[in-house]
Amino acid sequence: MNGRKLVIPGDLLGKGRAGHGAYEYDDDVFSKHVGLAEEKNGMFFVIPLSGVYNPKRGDGVVGKIEDVIFSKWLIDINSPYQAVLPLSEATEDFIDLTKTDLTKYLDYNDMVFAEIFSITKTKNVQLSMKNRKCRKLKGGRIIKVTPAKVPRIIGKGGSMVEMIKNMTETQIVVGQNGLVWVKGENEDIAAEAVMTIEEKSHVSGLTNYIKDMLENLMKDRIAEGEKL
């Protein structure tokens, strides 16, 4: 192993001895964590990294188009692993690739909400947009949060995110990969709510806290509008 490389739990590091953050199985050494792996004199170590998204099949993710190659798009999903969206998983339309420029569908730097369709053992991630919830995300802003805090932002049965949407009259799409898309006239207030949930995710009574915060911020916003 030359230098450090990014690994996730279960990644094969090589043959040797397991140091901190690694374990041995049948003479092979594997990673325990998401982190940076390195090898010293036949011993493998993994330095844990917090906040890195480990892709899972079925997850809904927010991603950015990084490249367009013949019949697929390469997408950054806030993960050590780049994802691929094949043409067949992006649209059911028949497209003649000799006559059609794929950037007419999805262009460089476009944001999308897609579903993780499959992951190979070598961590090749394939996306699909066939689920009715999947779509291109136009305008708005992206908020980056710790992926582990996403369930708190969504809330039980989607209760937290629905409350923010309703109270701020915004559109919100939460990716399991820690990217949250927000759009609307009050998207700054909605974004503040999302970031507050991440910061105070350990606090009990968080729903009421966020509700009170939004009520006060929206009252101030309305008062400002009336002055104008």
Determine the pLDDT at residue 94.
Answer: 77
Q: Is the pLDDT of residue 228 over 80?
A: no
Tokens of 130: 């066939």
Q: Give the per-residue pLDDT at 68.
A: 93
Average pLDDT over residues 119-139: 94
* Superfamily of segment(s) 60-137: Nucleic acid-binding proteins (2.40.50.140)
What integer pLDDT is reported at residue 51 of this predicted model?
A: 66
DSSP state of 10: T
More confident residue, 83 or 33: 83
Distance in angstroms (rounded) separating the CA atoms of residues 174 and 3 = 35
Read off the pLDDT of residues 91-109 as tens digits, 9 standing for 90 and up. Answer: 877 777 777 788 888 999 9
What architecture is the 141-227 domain classified under in CATH?
A: 2-Layer Sandwich (3.30)
Q: By percentage, how much of the chain surpasses pLDDT 90?
A: 70
> Quick one: how far is CA 94 from the chain centroid?
29
Mean pLDDT of 195-210: 93
Do the domains 5-48 and 60-137 sit in the same CATH topology, yes or no? yes
Overall average pLDDT of the 38-45 stretch:
91
- Asked whether the predicted pLDDT for residue 144 surpasses 80, the reply is yes
Between 41 and 184, residue with greater pLDDT: 184
User: Which CATH architecture group holds 5-48?
Assistant: Beta Barrel (2.40)
Taking alpha carbons only, the member of 128, 131, 138 closest to residue 72 is 128
Domain boundaries, the chain: 5-48, 60-137, 141-227
- pTM, two decimal places: 0.77
Residue 51's Cβ-side half-sphere holds a number of Cα atoms within 13 Å equal to 5
How close are the terminal C-alpha atoms of the chain, in Å? 63
How confident is the model at residue 93, as a pLDDT? 77
Residue 127's pLDDT band, with cuts at 50, 70 and 90, is: very high
Please, what is the average pLDDT of the chain?
A: 92
